[in-house]
Amino acid sequence: MGVVIMDGSTVRAFVRDEEEFNKSVDESFAALDLNNDGVLSRSELRNALESLRLLESHFGVDVVTPPEQLTQLYNSIFERFDCDGSGTVDLQEFRSEMKKILLAIADGLGSCPIQMVLEDDDQSFLKKAADLEAAKLESNNPE
């Protein structure tokens, strides 16, 4: 477990690093595509959102959302991802939506750094953004 400090620029740098970003997004897409058919179904995306706990907690504070409201929320998120209305989310749709979400988080953070406590095995995008920044700082100051 470690504490990282990040602000909007940490997240933006991660999104701009296309190679690193696509690699991370592709990895999560593959992990979410439970039946390996190359697209995410409504329930696969819902599993993903539930595992991210984005909706159930705000900055570590648990909030209780009524189930019917959650379903509505998950449906509207699915429809945002599914740009062409095909009923499934493909890799391109997933990449472009994750990019928008992370940039929105970056805007939300702005230049006001927050402290985040991350588990070592945390595979979240924010953890990857922090790791990437740390790796770059290290290669700039090699000691």
- Which range touches Ca ion (CB under 5 A), out of 5-13, 25-33, 48-56, 63-71? 25-33
Q: Which is nearer to Ca ion, 26 or 119 (CB)?
A: 26
Q: How far is the CB of 98 from Ca ion (least distance, A)?
A: 16
33 is a site residue for Ca ion (CB under 5 A): yes
Residue 87 sits in the site that holds Ca ion (CB under 5 A): no
Position 37 contacts Ca ion (CB under 5 A):
yes
- Bridge partner residues of 116 (DSSP): 4
Task: Give the nearest distance from C-beta 53 to Ca ion in angstroms.
Answer: 21
Crossing angle for the helix pair 18-32 and 125-140, to the nearest 10 degrees: 150
How many residues would you count in the chain?
A: 143
The residue written with tokens 């159930």 in the block is: 56
* Residue with smaller CB distance to Ca ion, 43 or 65: 43
Least Å distance between CB 88 and Ca ion? 7
Q: With H, G, I as helix, E, B as strand and everything else as coil, classify residue 141.
A: coil
Tell me the sheet residues that pair with 117.
Answer: 3
Our finding on whether 31 is near Ca ion (CB under 5 A) is: no
Which tokens hold the place of 139?
């290669």
Q: Contact, 10 vs 118, CB < 8 A?
A: no
Binding site for Ca ion (CB under 5 A): 33, 35, 37
